[in-house]
Structure 1
Amino acid sequence: MLSEQTSPTIPRTHALTNHKHIVPMRTHMRVGFISRAEAGKTLARLLKYYDNKPNTIVLSINSAPLPLANEIAVKLNLPLDLFLIRTLKADGWTVGAVTDRTEEPLLKDQIIREERSQLDMQRTLFQPPNLPLSTSENATILLATDGVQTGQSSRAAITLLKKMGYKGKIVLVAGVIGSDAQKMFKRDADDVIAVKGPQNVGTVGM
């Protein structure tokens, strides 16, 4: 069970700077994690290749995965930042997304103004450093989230990063990624690394 913990404040000076694979769930492992931080520690061990890797950053998709992303960044001695994103919904369907890093939305919609106000509230609360994204094709972003059920927010984040001109490698890292989402992200991300890949995720909190 992933516990609901208060997200850490991002330090200003330190991290919180080719094969796709999902680590199978071992039968002797318990079903869930004690916390998002525990999932992050496990992911950090799987991501040792990126330890102190130049031009690499851990980017947390919104604030909920911060404890997970923070453990990765600290263990690998990498900078950490927030990628604040709000998905746009109409009649229960995700129709686009906006981020505080660019004025251009993923898809224009009448609810953009309301979602941008939510972004402003989150930016005021967490005060992310908004580190500039590298223009190098050799750069790497470890795009961190606690879990992926449908993958809509993570996919929107990847699309927005590319739309903003980022040309480097994008590695999606998560505690849990559903098997259906795994197939989708094999097309969207350069690499996908998760601790567990069950067929049915249910809610991410579970």
Structure 2
Amino acid sequence: MRGPEFLDRYEGGRELADLLRQYAHRPDTVVLALPRGGVPVAYEVAKALGVPLDVFLVRKLGAPSHEELAMGAIASGGVRVINREVVEELDISRKEIDATAEREGVELQRREVKYRDGRPPPDVRGRNVILVDDGLATGTTMRAAVAALRQQEPARIVVAVPVGAVESCEDLAEEADEVLCLRRPAPFYAVGLWYRDFAQTSDEEVRELLTLASLERQAGMEHQPAAP
């Protein structure tokens, strides 16, 4: 097995941005991060492209007694995606799924309030959405995000991650308009193995990066030369 591909999430984001240059400085484009680990990656992408950054809330539904294994996910807008293979293999009941979804829904709402500070979610109708996370393992969480965004009728959904399992990247290509997995190591095992520093991203770091991205974007717009 090879060593880590990236120093940290920020480095992953800077490298990922190089694949997205066609979206630079486009008013019809927005970068949405999956909190929390996707935010540092997305911050670098949005900064390099000169486009707005926001978050899109998704919560993994961990299987009973196997919390690290995703049996599904929920996203803003009441969207629920279930991994039928996991549910059937572990014989998980509808009651167990509903209980987990309700619990994670509370946390999803808490983060909506904490991260947005009263700001409404961005209007993505007719826009290009670059959906960013720090990696794809099973891809269940990202699939929930794509499904939820589809309901808002964006022009295009681009899934972009620094590293992902080959199968997950290929599966998502059937649901998103474009999928960019910068590295597809095999065997994959887990996202964290491909970063030298994979410390947990805190709520405070998420808030700080969203604020910083907004301030930097405003400053950049103010220094743009006036149109002739």
TM-score (normalised: structure 1): 0.75
In 2, Cα distance between equivalents of 1:114 and 1:203: 25
2:24 aligned with 1:51: yes
In 1, Cα distance between equivalents of 2:39 and 2:33: 6
Shift in Å, 1:94: 4.1
The equivalent residue for 2:173 is: 186
The equivalent residue for 1:36 is: 9
Shift in Å, 1:50: 0.6
2:123 aligned with 1:133: yes
Gaps of 5+ in 1: 1-26
Shift in Å, 1:89: 3.9
Name the amino acid aligned to 1:71.
Answer: E
SS at match of 1:148: coil
Q: 1:118 aligns with which of 90, 98, 107?
A: 107
Q: Deviations over 1:146-187 (max 9, x none)?
A: 11011111111111111x332421111001011111220120
Answer with 1 or 2: which has the greater Rg. Answer: 2
Name the amino acid aligned to 1:58.
Answer: V
Q: How has the CA–CA distance of structure 1 residues 167 and 46 changed in structure 2, closer, same or farther, with 3 Å as cutoff?
A: closer
Gaps of 5+ in 2: 82-96, 194-228
Q: How has the CA–CA distance of structure 1 residues 205 and 95 changed in structure 2, closer, same or farther, with 3 Å as cutoff?
A: closer
Q: 1:106 aligns with which of 52, 55, 80?
A: 80
- Superposed CA RMSD in Å reads 2.2
TM-score (normalised: structure 2): 0.68
2:44 aligned with 1:71: yes
SS at match of 2:149: helix
Aligned residues with identical type, % of pairs: 29
SS at match of 1:119: helix
In 1, Cα distance between equivalents of 2:141 and 2:55: 14
Aligned length: 173
2:57 aligned with 1:84: yes
Name the amino acid aligned to 2:147.
Answer: T
Name the amino acid aligned to 1:134.
Answer: V
Shift in Å, 1:130: 4.2
Shift in Å, 1:90: 4.2
Q: How has the CA–CA distance of structure 1 residues 203 and 96 changed in structure 2, closer, same or farther, with 3 Å as cutoff?
A: closer
